[in-house]
Amino acid sequence: MKCPCNCGSILHMNLVETTSPKWRIIKHKDDTISLYPSIWRLKGCKSHSFLRNGKIHWVNKLLS
């Protein structure tokens, strides 16, 4: 997916259960998705967010 901060980076989240680190996708009844755990870029823009019910929720930069 594209980084939600619009920096232009492409993010890759591993969904393979037998490898690490890995993320989990949950599809909700309203056809939105959530991704667990958070998406935290350690390089580049260093954005930190959650994808919950199809919406990006930013982590306060003071806390990250």
Model-level pTM? 0.81
Q: How far apart are the two ends of the chain, measured CA to CA in Å?
A: 22
User: For residue 25, which of 16, 34, 17 has the smallest C-alpha distance?
Assistant: 34
- Render pLDDT for 22-56 as a digit per residue (tens, 0 to 9): 999 999 999 999 999 999 999 999 999 999 999 99
23 within 8 A of 14, measured Cβ to Cβ = yes
Question: What is the per-residue pLDDT across 1-12, written as a single tens digit (0 to 9) for each?
Answer: 999 999 999 999
